[in-house]
Amino acid sequence: MKKSKLAALGLAAALMVGTFAGCSSGTTSGKKVTIDIYQFKVETKSALDKAIAQYEKENPNVTINEQTVGGGGDYAGTLKTKFSSGQEPAIYNIFGQTDTHTWKDKDVDLSNESWVSQAVSGTLGGATLDGKVYGMPFDLEGYGLLYNKTVFQKAGIDASKLTTMDAIEQAYATLDSQKSKLGLTAVTAWAAKETWVTANHGMNPFVAPEFKDDEAAYNSKTLAFNYSDGFKKYVDLNIKYSYKPNGSASSINSIDYTTQVEQLFALGKVAVIQQGNWVIPTIKGIDPDLAKNVGIIPIPVESSAGTITGKIPVGVAAYWAINKDKDADTIAACKKFLNWLYQSDEGKKMIVNNFGFIPPFKNYSASLVSNLDPLSQDIEKYASAGNTISWVFNDYPSGYTDKVGADISKYIAGQLSWDQFVTNTKNNWSSLRQ
């Protein structure tokens, strides 16, 4: 074959690659394909539905069915039911090392996908096993004590000075004394009905310092819980100043995510909540001005074992996994859709502007990232500066969250002593790791 013809073929191939780059590292045969997505993030369901509609318009051979179970729903349990009942989704979410081990025999190995090299450092750890990547990072998220900047300003509180638990308690006392003037029902609202709020996010800052990384947390047979006294301070602060539906501490256990975020914080009835940047789309739908005026205070970790301040927990909310038992065309279509969503120019704009995600990939322009809401930009600054605490709750033993959450509820209700809570928390880790 002549060199000129080889060159022509090479150019044609290069043009074809250029056409699909950023869209997909997997292609379909052109056959009609249906992708069933089962995902957990209720806050961005609307944005995902819009993205799906646009993708289906551009790819008429692909039909995507999306189902969301999250917020107060048991995503992990219902996902297992889906698989056991023969209604296996093509794309679903996994969470950290525990899920990666649980679902490794079902997940497609995504190690050779083009986006892997663009992942932000540390974001693949939760979905990597034996050197293989089994999940695409969902986003970067951070959480802490979210506060209403306008209310704090009216109360004369400088949030930047709230670097210790004592300082935060003094600020809470100030807010409590001005509730009537500020239009508050309570200072804060702890969604204790949600075990992921209490046992996962609440306890995480006081557990993470024990472990080097995700793998170390997953492989640990024991939990020393050296920072338990610091966690007690934090829990007691929430009990003292949280909204109490019927006036009793035990009624804090009835506060769910919707009550906390939509009915109290977004309506200006409480000034502070423990949540993360994922709540902004919900708040924006209720009060766009408030969504621009939400700040974050790191949860201080003060314990006899050590002190950690000025850091917030930042991690990957979940990973997109693909079911390897689907046929080749469906698997290729799943890869193509995820690549389009996170790596095409159109998809990147959706991820930032519609989903409001802090991108877990490096190849997003600074100008695009600047479109994020102020809270997400603040969290991105913590992450860029390395002022973060890891998310080890995704590496808890299976079933651990529910047990710890139940015990926290008992402590709130006065039905369990703190010493017994600590003992149970350590013992449950060990027994569930066996």
Calpha distance 242→237 (Å, rounded) = 8
**Domain locations in the chain as residue ranges:** 31-137+315-381, 140-311+388-431
State the pLDDT at residue 71.
Answer: 67
Query: Which residue matches tokens 């969290």?
Result: 379
State both tokens at 388. Answer: 């973060």
| Spans of the chain, pLDDT less than 70 | 1-29, 71-73
Query: Which of 190, 185, 152 is closest to 168 using CA atoms?
Result: 152
Q: What's the whole-model pTM score?
A: 0.80
Output DSSP code: residue 302.
E
Q: Which residues of 186-204 are buried (b: 16+ CB within 10 A; e: fewer)?
A: bbbbbbbbbbbbbbbbbbb
Contacts of 200 (CB under 8 A, 6+ apart): 393, 396, 401
Q: What three-state secondary structure class fits 191?
A: coil
Q: Is the dihedral of CA 396, 401, 403, 405 positive or negative?
A: positive
Contacts of 154 (CB under 8 A, 6+ apart): 178, 181, 182
CA angle 428–409–144, rounded 5-degree value:
90
CATH class of residue range 31-137+315-381: alpha beta
Query: Which residue matches tokens 């150019």?
Result: 11
| CB-CB contact of 319 with 303 (8 Å) | no
Fold of 140-311+388-431: D-Maltodextrin-Binding Protein; domain 2 (3.40.190)
State the pLDDT at residue 72.
Answer: 63
- Crossing angle of the two packed helices 228-241 and 400-412, in degrees rounded to 10: 50
State the pLDDT at residue 307.
Answer: 95
> Residue type at 111?
S
State the pLDDT at residue 23.
Answer: 41
State both tokens at 215. Answer: 């793998």
State the pLDDT at residue 26.
Answer: 38
Output DSSP code: residue 45.
H
Helical segments of 295-373, H only: 328-343, 345-349, 366-369
Residue 172, CA distances (Å) to 178, 198, 203 in order: 10, 19, 20
User: How many other C-beta atoms can be found within 10 angstroms of the C-beta atom of residue 57?
Assistant: 8
The per-residue pLDDT for range 276-330, each reduced to its tens digit, is 998 998 999 999 999 999 999 999 999 999 999 999 999 998 999 999 999 999 9
**Whether the domain at 31-137+315-381 and the domain at 140-311+388-431 fall into the same CATH topology:** yes
| CB-CB contact of 296 with 147 (8 Å) | yes
Helical segments of 357-434, H only: 366-369, 374-385, 400-412, 418-433
State the pLDDT at residue 14.
Answer: 38
